[in-house]
Amino acid sequence: MRIVILTGAGISAESGLGTFRDKDGLWTKYDLNEVATPEGFAKNPQLVTDFYNARRANCASAQPNAAHHALARLEAALPGQVTLITQNVDDLHQRAGSGHVIQMHGALMSALCAGCRHRWPAPPVMALTDRCPACGQARTRPDVVWFGEIPYHMDAIAEAVETCTHFAAIGTSGQVYPAAGLVAEARGNGAQCIELNLEPSEISRVFQHRRYGPASEVVPAWVDSLLD
């Protein structure tokens, strides 16, 4: 088996990290055009920096749940056969024990120099006066992919999806591209595709198999079925 797993915000919801569509979540308190676009950062960099500092603090206080641990167990049981791609910028997969995580939308715990593109571990509280360790410029920004920017690692993602035999989407809405288009590519190449979600996504019809319920329940059960 060559298994590709795509995870979205729904896998981290039970850890206390809100999704885009939570009625009372962090995202609903801001205009996404102001805090999640290059134009928003150019207009008000302090607002964006404060927003991601709050998200980083929220992430630091969260813990991986049973779904994260189950995927780490799958990777350990099938070395070299599992590719884990996440839309999430949190580090819960890594803290659960997943050894190789492709973070297509960047990493909340990483800082990026807008000048030389150097990356380094973000401090708990980032400041606009922080200087890049490589070039010395004070052009620090969160190392996340904003709306209008190209996701990271697309070549590696395309290669994994093209050659997989099994594809799973966990906790995704099916509304954010290019991630939402990966299942169609996988199925077109002959992979068996399953959706594991709290409820049907916008693209549930594309999957041959579906399991619905809390991620902490359906993901460990699915992993068990693969390893039996």
Which residue intervals of 122-214 are DSSP H helices? Answer: 154-163, 182-188
Please list the active-site residues.
105
Question: Hey, which bits of 91-183 come out as E strands?
Answer: 101-103, 106-113, 119-121, 140-144, 166-170
Per-residue pLDDT, 174 = 86
The 10s digit of each residue's pLDDT in 33-67 is 999 999 999 999 999 999 999 999 999 999 999 99
CB 222 within 8 A of CB 211: yes
The 10s digit of each residue's pLDDT in 103-159 is 999 999 999 999 999 999 999 999 999 999 999 999 999 999 999 999 999 999 999
Report the distance separating Cα 72 and Cα 56, nearest Å. Answer: 22
Per-residue pLDDT, 198 = 93
CA dihedral 220, 225, 226, 228 (to 10 degrees): 120
Burial of residue 61 (CB within 10 Å: 0-12, 13-18, 19+) is: exposed
The 10s digit of each residue's pLDDT in 166-211 is 999 999 988 888 998 999 999 999 999 999 999 999 999 999 999 9
CB 117 within 8 A of CB 126: no
Give the pTM.
0.93
pLDDT band at 27 (very low <50, low <70, confident <90, very high): low
